Amino acid sequence: MRPDGRTADTMRTVELITGVSPYAEGSCLAKFGNTHVLCTASVEDNIPPWLKGSGKGWVTAEYGMLPRATHTRGRREAAAGKQSGRTQEIQRLIGRSLRAVVDLRALGERQITLDCDVIQADGGTRTAAITGAWVALKQAVNWLIEEDVLGNDPVYGQVAAISCGVISGEPRLDLCYEEDRVAEADANFVLTAEGGIVEIQATAEDKPIPEDAFGTLFTLAKTGVRELCDIQKSVV
């Protein structure tokens, strides 16, 4: 029995709320139960130096967490003077995941930055961030098309992400924090609407994961991502 009464293959209630930022070119508040991540897409003309003159654009992400998004207060990274290894790992993951479905040449020499800020954290913040960031990105690109800046849509695929894990030997979909901290294994799947693999990160916390348990997690994730893609489609 899960802490919130769900069955092993059920996700939490997911809401993808758009239009939450009055200024950003795209925005989405992604709610996976008590995990709330505010994703904004900012279109800028400056691109990384190594792309200058290449005719290609860039999609990147930054990730942050409000100090009291969690059960106990965490240190503010700006005050600490640096982003933690975990933060950097997550923002690199979000960026890679989105770039896997974007034609950077079709985007032209501009950059879209996805800011994913966790307002409340109850597990699965990085997968909620990817799922919401795709919506914000899509909105920003739609805006560029409406403004006649772009002729073709550079976003050629749809991507969403979900976490799974093994608790007391049981593979479960979409872990909340209470489950996450006791999981024997933890896996994040970033998949396309068609089931293509964008990124898999599976980690044994305590002891190695048997191959068949990994297979079950993968199956759960595919179901979850299909559902998430339907919700995404309904808002963009």
Known binding residues for phosphate: 86, 124-126
State how far the Cα of 61 lies from the Cα of 19, in Å rounded to an integer: 19
Of 3, 13, 19, 44, which one interacts with its own copies (CB under 8 A)?
44
State how far the Cα of 70 lies from the Cα of 211, in Å rounded to an integer: 33
The tokens for 108 are 């032209």
Q: Does residue 191 interact with its own copies by CB under 8 A?
A: yes
Write out the H or E segment, with its range, that includes residue 11: none
Q: Where in 119-148 is the site for its own copies (CB under 8 A)?
A: 119-120
The DSSP annotation for 192-208 comes to: ETT--EEEEEEEESSSP
Of 3, 210, 230, 233, which one interacts with its own copies (CB under 8 A)?
210
Q: Which stretch binds its own copies (CB under 8 A): 79-87, 124-132, 144-152, 168-176?
A: 79-87
SS3 of 125-163: the string is HHHHHHHHHHHHHHHHHHHHHHCCCCCCCCECCCEEEEE
Residues binding its own copies: number (CB under 8 A) = 67
* Residues in contact with its own copies by the rule CB under 8 A: 21-24, 27, 34, 38, 40, 42, 44, 62, 64, 66-73, 76-83, 85-89, 91-92, 96, 100-101, 113, 115, 117, 119-120, 157, 185, 187, 191-192, 194-211, 214
